[in-house]
Amino acid sequence: MADIGLTGLGTMGAALALNIAEKGFSVAVHNRSRERTDALVEGAGDLAANLTPLDDLAEFATALTAPRLIVMMVPAGAAVDAVIEALLPRLDEGDTLIDAGNADFNDTRRREAALAQKGFGFVGMGVSGGEDGARHGPSIMVGGPEASYERLGPIVEAIAARYQGAPCAAWLGPDGAGHFVKTVHNGIEYADMQMIAEVWGLLRAAGRAPKAAAELFAEWDEGPLRSYLIEITAKVLAAADTETGEPLIDVILDVAGQKGTGRWTVIEALKLGQSASAIEAAVGARSWSSEVAARRLGEDRLGAGEASPRAILDGDLEKALLAARIIGYSQGLTLLARASAEFDWSLDLARIAEIWRAGCIIRSALLDDIAHAARDGLAQNHLILAPYFADRLAETVPALRRVVASAICSGDPVPALAAALSFYDTMRRARGTADLIQGQRDYFGRHGFQRRDRDGEGFHGPWAD
């Protein structure tokens, strides 16, 4: 009898199955089409001994130890519902289905509630780290009934990445908590990738060749920016196209795809009355990237106006990126805190930062410091207000300000860096400009306002008309 089942043997599913098998668990593997199952087992070498290939769902279900644990690694949306439907008649009360794909947490909440009524467990499990992570150690964010973690926990903790020996996997909260945390992880990933790309754009505009930029990123990867995304940026920029010998970056079309997790982050932020503006800017920038024809027309028609010559800001770029990265993480964590309050999840932000320290795409040198700051409690749920990070920002924001100002004056787009800076500048003022918004709202709609000099609400201005 197999310890666990896994259905959906695409890139991530196959890698996860091999990882589980390697850690000594027996896995029943299933895929809609038999070829992938065969390919997995044929390529598994010694690990094949721990894999039981089955192409019939009924046999797949009977091959599993009770109560069953079944991991589904299929595309988000209708495919997940279809697999659940197909599996349900073969399950017994107490069995648990685990959706290990990137799912909209609203779907996860719905599925968890529906399956709970029927006596089944449903776990939404975010797995980060790409194919290599899934195979050799991802970061794993688990949500769903806590009881499900009793049997699932030892398996996910065995296959997860390790940070100083501690597994980067944890049960984070009920129903959709795991998938929500994974979604926000991806939102932060979008912001970080976009900010890095903007810095590359500034270097390129200033005439820096990809190879030289690659060296700069590799150097930064030795300092406070050390992270997986900086490391792979250096590698991407250093790569040559095998067909033309040109720098690969000059061959790749500047159109970025997106499967939805960044967009989900922004949608949920807005629904919670938040604005994760650096993440929003990154999602927007990916959308604009697809408007190639409009951008080509724009290059002919839209002038920069009185653009200043580009300043060379090499010394500032590293610090600017660090400041913006801190702000991106901060917006993500605030969103987690707000969602936790809204859905009653009691998310432990420090634990989340801890399991992001290795295995996942946003792993970086900063995360250990973030975990410490979160452990001390974040004032008003803002990482930027933690004394340690306020100090880091005081050291780095001047560089971000110079970089953004220079980019704006020279006409180079930096939507995520600028959004991060504007958020920071908004948050460091006790008095903002919403007084005027309230005056306007009261003027045209008698919406009323609060006063600075006394309590209460519903005050009105002396509008004659």
Q: 70: closest CA among 55, 90, 43, 48?
A: 90
141 binds ligand 6PG (CB under 6 A): no
118 is catalytic: no
If the CB atoms of residues 6 and 140 are measured against ligand 6PG, the closer one turns out to be 140
Among 31, 52, 183, 186, interactor with ligand 6PG by CB under 6 A: 186
Of 257 and 445, which CB lies nearer to ligand 6PG in the complex structure? Answer: 257
Q: Which of 104, 107, 189, 268 binds ligand 6PG (CB under 6 A)?
A: 189
Contact 266, 187 (CB under 8 A): yes
Burial 87-121 (b: 16+ CB within 10 A, else e): beebbeeebbbbbbbbbbbebbbebbeebeeeebb
Minimal distance, residue 389 CB to ligand 6PG, in Å? 23
> Would you state the structure tokens that stand for residue 463, as one six-digit string?
């509008």
Q: Of the candidates 457, 273, 283, 261, which has an alpha carbon nearest to the alpha carbon of residue 381?
A: 273
Tell me the window of 145-153, 173-181, 253-261, 316-324 that interacts with ligand 6PG (CB under 6 A): 253-261
Kindly tell me which residue out of 29, 360, 370, 383 binds ligand 6PG, with binding defined by CB under 6 A: 360
Q: How are strands ordered across the β-sheet holding 96-99?
A: 51-53, 27-30, 4-7, 69-72, 96-99, 121-128, 139-143, 169-173
- Mention every residue, 6+ apart, whose C-beta is less than 8 A from residue 38: 53
Q: Where in 218-237 is the site for ligand 6PG (CB under 6 A)?
A: none
Binder of ligand 6PG out of 26, 65, 258, 274 (CB under 6 A): 258
Tokens read off for 50? 């721990």
Quick one: which of 361, 373, 417, 418 contacts ligand 6PG (CB under 6 A)? 361
As to burial, measured by CB atoms within 10 angstroms (0-12 exposed, 13-18 middle, 19+ buried), residue 260 is middle
Contacts of ligand 6PG in 75-134 (CB under 6 A): 102, 128-130
Residue (267 or 311) nearer to ligand 6PG, CB: 267
Catalytic residue among 157, 189, 198, 268: 189
Is 194 an interacting residue with respect to ligand 6PG (CB under 6 A)? no
Residue 369 binds ligand 6PG, judged by CB under 6 A: no
**Residue with Cβ nearer ligand 6PG (128 or 406):** 128
Residue 283 or 317 having the CB closest to ligand 6PG: 283
| Helical segments of 160-260, H only | 177-205, 210-220, 228-238, 248-251
Verify binding: residue 31, ligand 6PG, rule CB under 6 A. no
8 lines the binding site for ligand 6PG (CB under 6 A)? no
Question: Is 189 a known active-site residue?
Answer: yes
Q: Which residues contact 274 (CB under 8 A, 6 or more apart)?
A: 334, 335, 338
The neighbouring-strand residues paired with 99 are 72, 124
Segment (H or E) for 289: helix 277-289
12 or 51: whose CB is closer to ligand 6PG?
12
Cα separation, 212 vs 351, in Å, equals: 38
Q: Using CB under 6 A, which of the segments 51-59, 256-264, 293-301, 443-451 binds ligand 6PG?
A: 256-264
Task: Name beta bridge partners: 163.
Answer: 166
List of residues contacting ligand 6PG (CB under 6 A):
102, 128-130, 186, 189, 257-259, 261-262, 360-361
Positions marked active-site: 182, 189
